[in-house]
Structures are given as C-alpha cells and as structure tokens.
Structure 1
Amino acid sequence: MELPNLGHSGLGTICLSTIFFIFVYIISTIIYLLTLHPLASYPGPVWTRASRIPFWIACLTGDQVLWMHSLHTKYGPWKAIHGHEKGGRELPKAREWFVEPANGIYGINSAPAHEHHRRFRKLFAPAFSERALKSNEPVLRKHVDLLVRKLGEVANAGRPVDMVRMFQFTTFDFMGDLTFGLPLGLLQGLKYSPWVEAVFDSIKVTPVAQIIQYYPWLHSLFKRLEPRFVKDMKYNHFKHSADRVDLRLERGPAEKPDIWSMVLAAKGDQQLSLEEMYCHADVFMLAGSETSGSTLSGLTYHLLSNPEKLEILKNQIHSLFKHEDEITLQSTAGIEYLNACIQEALRLYPPVPVGVPRVVTEAGLTIRGQWVASGTRVSVHHYATYRSPLNFADPDTFAPERWLSGGGDSLAPYYENDRRESCQPFAYGPRDCLGRNLAMHEMRYVMARVLFNFDLKLRPESDCNIVGASNQAV
C-alpha cells in the first residue's frame, strides 16, 4: 500500500491546524477556569485561577511560604476542614503531597485509608503516653548531657557554634535511641551521617516529587524514565531504615523500652507487617527529629533577638533550679513562661509552615459559604494563619506574653483578643500529631538545660530574618 505524498504544503497545513487547536484548547480552558469553574468565584490573582503553574514555581524556588502569606494577607482568610463533622468522615490527605515510599507502603502520617491510620495510631499511641515518656527520660537525659558537654568544649575554646546543627544532632540521636535503642552518633562525631544528609537533601527536592505525583500522566512517564541515580538514592535511603529495623528485630526484647517494644508486643490485627515496620522506621526518624530541632533553632533565634524575653526566661529557670539534676521532664512541664516561649516559637517559626492539603470527597463541601467541588485540594497554611493580623495582634512580634494565663505582665491584656485556637502547629482533628507530648517535653528539657548552663549571644551574621537564618550563637 502506497501512502499519499502530502508534500510540504500538506504537512504545513497539518502543523498549523494542530497549533490552532492547541491554542483554542488552552484559551478555552483558561476562560472556563476564570468564569465557569466551581472555584472561579474565589478571590485571588488571575494567573493563579487560570493555572496551577504559579504555585509550582513558588514551591520550586522556595518562595511558597512567603508567597502564600502575601496572598492570605491581600485576599483574606481561607479555611479548610482538618477535623470531621459529627457522623461524617475526615477529608483524606492528598497522596501526591507525600513522596511515594520505596516499598509502596504509606505510614501513619500519610496513610490514605482511615482504617489503616486508626490501626497504626492505636498501636503506637501507648509509646507516646505520659507513662512511656517518663520511663524514657534517662534516654533523653543521656543525650542532653552530651549536648551540654559538647557545647561546653566549644565555649571553653572560644569558638562559635551552629546551634541548628547541635539541636539537630541531639534530636536525631535521641529519636534513634528512642525508636530502636541505637543512637546515630551525630553528637559524638559532631557531623551528620550520610543518611541524615540524604534526609535533608530529600526535603529540598520534595516539591519536584509533588509536581510529578500530582499529574498521573507525568507520574507514569517518570516511572518509565526514572534516572538510575534517583532509584539508587531512594533505595539507599529505604535500605538504611530497613536495616535498622532488621537489627532491632535481631536483638529481640529490649533491656530498656523503646517504641519498637510496642510493635513487637502487638497481637492480632494490630501487628505490623515487616514492610509496614520498614515504612514507620523512616516516618519516626524524620517526624520526631527534624521538626523538634527546627523549633528549638527558631526559639533560640527569637530569644537571642529579644534579650529582655531571654532574661525573663533565664531568671525563671535559675530561680527554680539550684542544681542541674533538679531539671526533669516533670519539673519543666509547669514553667509557664517556658511553655509560652515555645508556643510563640511554634507560631512564628512552625516546623511545617505550609498547609498539608486534604482532598474534598465525592459529596463536595461548603467552605465559608461557598461550594467546593469533589477533588479540590484544601488546606490551612500554617505560616499565613499564624502571621495574620486577623488572628494575632502584632503578628510578626515575638511575644510569649500572648500565651500567658493572665496577670503579672502589663503587656498580656494587649493580646487578649488573639485567636489562639487558630495556632495548631501539631495539626488538628483525628490526624493530629501523635508525638506532641514527646516534642513538648523534649523541647522544654533541652532549652532549660542549655539556658541553665550557657549565656548565648547571636552572632552578627545570624541577625537576619528568621526565614533562612543560620542561627549561629555563642
């Protein structure tokens, strides 16, 4: 069979027709999005209503947090539901937001199915009870003892110290010990292990993975053409977590309780498969480490940038404790000003500053009196919410007084109309952070020990906006 010879003019006509139809499709899609789409009535810049591209650009360039804050400031508050109505179900988390696990198993933080999340939560909840945390206090004390000793060595040598790294070393070592009875040795060597460095690198490329996973066609194409180095990076990261699980399983019952003790003691339907164990090893090491270390870094920066607040806190700590061994999880839990400082740091410098998107279910949802169609991603953006003047007076000011119960401080009444309930750094609803008590105990204890032993000062090169600050102090 002989194919017809279209010639140059025929091919040109086909190309022009294709370009024309593509152009018409794009223009008609934009017109639909701006006029007839269910979300067209929501306020916002024209280009963000016409395309998701501006959002992805902000994510890739690292400007998403401040960009979203500027939109909230200009166009008013947006609200989504993270809890659930009586008799209803929570909105599921958007799967594309979480990097697909190497073994395809999603853990407690990202499990799309409600029943899986409930099973995981029921299993791990006892490990984060007050009783369990109290039993693990010696583990935390051991690592903070080492932190204090290492800081003392640097101070005696008259050298500056990067407190971000020191806090991250401490929290990663503690979480490794608490989870598997085996610290990472970061504080001892004063450097990140290759695995921890890989964790931080993976956080930086997360927006790329989110874009790929959001579009099914792009995800499918990437799976076929995925570069070898990306496969190796994912495999090596997964293998590190899996190896720690295997080592823990080989040791059997622990001499001292750890989180995996709960896993091994589970019976019946609560038991985890080996693949689920591998997945949660990665979840706990990241969620319980980097977030607490980041909050301690932000708190330190704001205290050193506000010497009068720092002095109040130090005076309280030194008035309550005459000897360092008096500082415990229990004795620091009731220090109101310390709690207020941590809460204010979580407001100004939330470890998860963005909004984790939820997906509107098939029934649709009414938000702020407007209908939102099925499949729409909705979220509460933490940074924008906490920095909004609609929620907090002087929202960019570090003011622990806004969290005090009242009395004693002349500034407190100024903040009495703050919408404190809007600050939910540990999330809200059925999927709020299971490790909240652990994180608060850990941060109170670490900060009390550090301020009891050292006079910290901010170095000139760290005296900048908190976003991107290096936070070096001596």
Structure 2
Amino acid sequence: MASTQDSFASIQQTVLPGTITFKVLAALVVLYLISYPIYAIYLHPLSSYPGGTLEKLTRLPYWIACLKGNQVKFMQEQHRRYGPTVRFAPNDLSFTEAQAWKDICLIPKGKKENGKEIRFHAPSANGTPNLITEPSPVRHATVRRVFSPAFSEKALKQQEPLFQYYADLMIARSRKKGTVNMAELLNWTTFDIMAEFAFGQSLGLLEKEAYSEWVATVFNTLIVLPALQMIQFYPLSRKLFALLEPKSVAKMRLDHFNHTVSRVDKRLKEGSPKPDLWNLVEESGILTSGEIYTNAELFMTAGTETTASLLTGTTYYLLKNPDKMKILTDEIRGRFKSNKEMTLEALSQLEYLNACLREGLRVYPSIPSAIPREIAEGGNIIMGKWLPGGTRVSVHQSATYRSPSNFKNPDDFVPERWLGDPTYKDDIREAHQPFGVGTRNCLGMNMAWHEMRLLLSKLIYNFDMKTEVDASWRDQNVFVIWDRKPLPVTLVDINAPA
C-alpha cells in the first residue's frame, strides 16, 4: 500500500507542476488575447486616429494588399473612408496633407531627424548602407556631399553629350519599327544612360533591343519586394530567412551585386576621359569601398526604372488626351528646327512640356506608394499632434495626388493646372512632392528632369504616335513601384519620305 501511495505522490510531483505551468501559459495567452485588442483600440498612443478596427489590431490587411499588388488601391480606399490621416496598421500613420511632408521629412529645431524606415528597403548584399538606407544623419550628409557635384547643373551640362547620344540612338532604333513597346524602349534607354554614367560603359540594351540578364533580374525580383519587406519587418522571420534562404536565391542576390562590383572596379581601374560619375565626385577618400558599390547599385535602380516609368505613364496619358498631345507637339515642333537644337537648357524653358511632366508625376508617380519614416527617439510633432518615438509615418503619394481635397478633378490629366488655369486655383500644389522633401530628397532630381524632357521631346519631335490601348492599362499592380503593362505605340516618322 505504501509503495502505491509513494508512486501516486511521485506522479503528482512529476505531472502537477507541468499541468500548472500549462494552465498558467494558457491563462496568459487568454489574457493577452483579451487585453491586446482593448489596448490597441482604446489605450494605444495612436488610438485617437481613425482607421479600420482590424487594421488597428494587425498589419496583416496591409501585408496582404502589398503581396497581391493592391497596396495603392488599399491605401486610397483607407483615405477615402477615414480622411487625410489614417491609422492603417497598429503603429503606422499615413497622411495626405501638404504640411505632413514638412513635418515628417524636415528636421525640427532642437529635435532629431525622423529616420528612414530601414526595413522598407531590401538590404544590400554586402550589408553596407547606401544614401537611402544610411541611418546616421551625419554620415548621410557626408556621403551626399561627395556625390552632389556629379548631379549639379554644371555637371549635367558636361554630361549632355551622353544624354544626347542615347536619346538619338533611341530615335534611330525606333525608326526601324512600326510599333514599339514604349515601356521597353524607355527602359533600355534609361538603363544605357545610367550604366555609362555610373560604370563608364553602356549595357548595350538599345543596340541589342533586349534586356541583359542582369537587368532582367532586376525586373523579375520586383514582385517579391513586398515579401522581402515583410520578412525584414519581423525579427523572427528575418532570422529564419537567414537560415533557410534557398541557395539559388542567395546566389542570385550575390551575383547581381557582384555585377555592380566588377563594373565599378573596371571603371575605377581603367579610368575614363568622359565626365561620368567617378570623374565628377570629390576624390577625397571619404567613401569606403562598400559605400562605392552600394551607391552605384542604387543609382542603377533608382535612376532608371523610375524615369522610364514616369515617361511611359505620361506618354499613355498624352495619347489618351489628344488635345493635350497637340498642344505639346505644337510647342516642341514650333520651337525647334532640328534635333540638334534640342539642348537641355532650351528644353527646360518649355512651359507646357514641364507642365505635362509634372502632371504625369501626379497621375502616374514614379513611386506610387509611400517611403515611410520612423519618429525619432523622444517623439516629434506631426500635423499638430505629438507622436512617440518609433511610430511609423508617411505621405502616400498616390492617395495624396488623387485626393479631391488637394486637386480638383484629381483623376484627370490636366497640365494646365500647373500653368495658372483659374479653374484649378485652389489646388494645393505643395502636396505634390514626387522627389521628396528635405536633406534626404532625391539627389538625382535635376538629372531626372533633364532626361525626362529630352527623351519625351525627341519622341514627339520625330514621330506622330498612337495606341490602341484602352483605359484598362491604368489598372496596374504595384510592388513598391508600378508593375507596368506593355504600352504598344505605333510610330509614324514625320521626316520619312512620302
């Protein structure tokens, strides 16, 4: 009998603590499931901001929209339902008001900068930050000063032969075609320009009329950008991905980065008589080798697809608004008598051209989503309200530019709104900031403007264009940037013999 009692007591000592532990854990889980929604909805520092109940509890609706390519539609709908400020995730706010650009992106006096949300950007293969992802304001300013001379107006004047060469090559290749896919043609051109600028050597895409394997990889990986963002967002998934990343994927990322490394090394070793990037930056030894490589890689992505995307979208809207296309065509052909007369300086003075491009940047922005910032430690005031450090904030470009509170007839392509048309006198033009605001705005903004004016003008000067594409072309997925559909355009050479 005693042995039986001893055995029972032993079982109690073994099983009961485990049972208690399980009950405690279960109780804690239940307590969390009950208390977290109460906290998130009613007690969280952002509880006073409007937004959907599910969105206040979890980031999952936003991630699903991103993975499906519906992020822009999701955010536009959030703002339509809840107004100019929306809490679209537990710790995320989106704004569509002009003042938000300044509050988020400028550095308040006596306060710290609201830094870039690093997890939004895919990490470089060598782990070194670039101009976008550099977390230190001091180091960012130092690196930016090194590159700034290469993007100055003086430098752009020196680089004009490079731009003119590829613009003319684009026209020459187009003359051999009856119909071109404008999305491809503009990509080939912008990648060739930037490759010669950053590497001292073209990729030869216009010559081959095809993407290189390296450039094709860039586009093939666009669709997975939201998935990479989601993985980077959570510490556990980040660690698991580092352990479980397929070797083929790791090799692809490394090969892509090494392509940049080999081209930069070749350019720096051989030198170049042309006024390219490396002849125009300060040779001060400030940059590390890692910074040289990651920023060259950045220029090849940020300075190519974005420009081609804007030009493709603007071309579409011009073709679908023939009255606007006629005004622009008359301006360009009335001003110039030959391709040689179309200098960067002369093109910058064309008012309607500038208005068309700016309107293109509104209805089809190169970055249609948002680039989030994180409120600095100690908190900052955004739109008149204090926000705690760590809060993620952003101005969503598409939602802002299509807001009727900012722009009259927001879905219409109306270049005249930038030229003083009284119908649009109440438009809030300061809400339109496609190149960003403050010390971290787009370094290549001036270069992009010259490139956009030159390429669009030469196409319009040399060809009459038409397309059969209907309004469904505008219904595109967004994976951080546009997943552009082909834009077939028929080109009629106006200089061809009758």
- How would you bin the TM-score normalised by the shorter chain? over 0.9
Aligned to 1:447: 456
| Partners of 1:7 and 1:58 in 2: CA distance | 49
TM-score (norm 1): 0.92
- What displacement does 1:7 show? 11
Kindly indicate whether residue 149 of structure 2 is the aligned counterpart of residue 149 of structure 1. Answer: no
Residues 3-402 of structure 1 mapped to structure 2, 5 A cutoff: 18=25, 21-78=28-85, 79=95, 80=100, 81-155=104-178, 160-252=179-271, 254-263=272-281, 265-268=282-285, 271-402=286-417
Q: 1:272 to 1:43 in 2, by over 3 A?
A: same
Aligned to 2:495: none
Contact residue 112 and residue 377 of structure 2 kept, 8 A? no
Between the two proteins, what is the percent identity of the paired residues?
42
Contact residue 299 and residue 342 of structure 1 kept, 8 A? yes
- What displacement does 1:225 show? 2.2
- What displacement does 1:370 show? 3.0
- What displacement does 1:466 show? 5.2
| Partners of 1:208 and 1:94 in 2: CA distance | 16
Give the letter aligned to residue 262 of structure 1. Answer: L
Give the letter aligned to residue 455 of structure 1. Answer: D
SS of the residue 2:381 aligns to: strand
Give the letter aligned to residue 431 of structure 2. Answer: S
| Partners of 1:220 and 1:4 in 2: CA distance | 39
| Partners of 2:209 and 2:69 in 1: CA distance | 28
**Larger Cα Rg: Structure 1 or Structure 2?**
2
| Partners of 1:95 and 1:131 in 2: CA distance | 33
Contact residue 123 and residue 262 of structure 1 kept, 8 A? no
| Partners of 2:55 and 2:356 in 1: CA distance | 37
Deviates more, 1:212-221 or 1:348-357: 212-221
Q: 1:7 to 1:243 in 2, by over 3 A?
A: same
SS of the residue 1:266 aligns to: coil
Deviation track 1:223-264 (CA, whole Å, cap 9, x = no partner) reads: 222221221121111111111111112213x1111001234x
Contact residue 462 and residue 470 of structure 1 kept, 8 A? no
| Partners of 1:358 and 1:114 in 2: CA distance | 13
SS of the residue 1:397 aligns to: coil
| Partners of 2:180 and 2:471 in 1: CA distance | 12
Give the letter aligned to residue 126 of structure 1. Answer: P
Deviation track 1:6-50 (CA, whole Å, cap 9, x = no partner) reads: 999998997777555434323321221011111111101100011
- What displacement does 1:372 show? 1.7
SS of the residue 2:386 aligns to: strand
Contact residue 65 and residue 354 of structure 1 kept, 8 A? yes
| Partners of 2:384 and 2:337 in 1: CA distance | 57
Contact residue 260 and residue 296 of structure 2 kept, 8 A? yes
Select the structure that is richer in strand: 2
Aligned to 2:89: none
Deviates more, 1:391-400 or 1:175-184: 175-184
Q: 1:226 to 1:330 in 2, by over 3 A?
A: same
| Partners of 1:371 and 1:45 in 2: CA distance | 22
Deviation track 1:132-166 (CA, whole Å, cap 9, x = no partner) reads: 111111111111111101111002xxxx3110000
Q: From 429, 441, 446, give the equivalent of 1:432.
A: 441
Count of matched residue positions in the alignment of Structure 1 and Structure 2: 459
Unaligned runs of 5+ in 1: 407-411
| Partners of 1:106 and 1:262 in 2: CA distance | 22
Contact residue 324 and residue 449 of structure 1 kept, 8 A? yes
- What displacement does 1:59 show? 0.9
| Partners of 1:184 and 1:462 in 2: CA distance | 33
SS of the residue 2:221 aligns to: helix
| Partners of 2:207 and 2:228 in 1: CA distance | 34
| Partners of 2:27 and 2:235 in 1: CA distance | 26
| Partners of 1:466 and 1:321 in 2: CA distance | 36
Q: CA RMSD in A?
A: 2.2
- What displacement does 1:433 show? 0.7
Deviation track 1:362-418 (CA, whole Å, cap 9, x = no partner) reads: 2112323333221111011111111100100000000000011x3xxxxx1100110
Unaligned runs of 5+ in 2: 1-6, 86-94, 477-483, 491-498
| Partners of 2:315 and 2:223 in 1: CA distance | 23
Contact residue 121 and residue 229 of structure 2 kept, 8 A? yes
Aligned to 1:423: 432
| Partners of 2:485 and 2:289 in 1: CA distance | 40
Give the letter aligned to residue 129 of structure 2. Answer: Y
| Partners of 1:466 and 1:328 in 2: CA distance | 35
| Partners of 1:194 and 1:70 in 2: CA distance | 38
Aligned to 1:409: none
Deviation track 1:157-176 (CA, whole Å, cap 9, x = no partner) reads: xxx31100000000000000
Deviates more, 1:44-53 or 1:216-225: 216-225
Q: 1:456 to 1:213 in 2, by over 3 A?
A: same
Kindly indicate whether residue 486 of structure 2 is the aligned counterpart of residue 470 of structure 1. Answer: yes
Contact residue 72 and residue 369 of structure 2 kept, 8 A? yes
Give the letter aligned to residue 122 of structure 1. Answer: R
Contact residue 155 and residue 280 of structure 2 kept, 8 A? no
SS of the residue 1:88 aligns to: coil
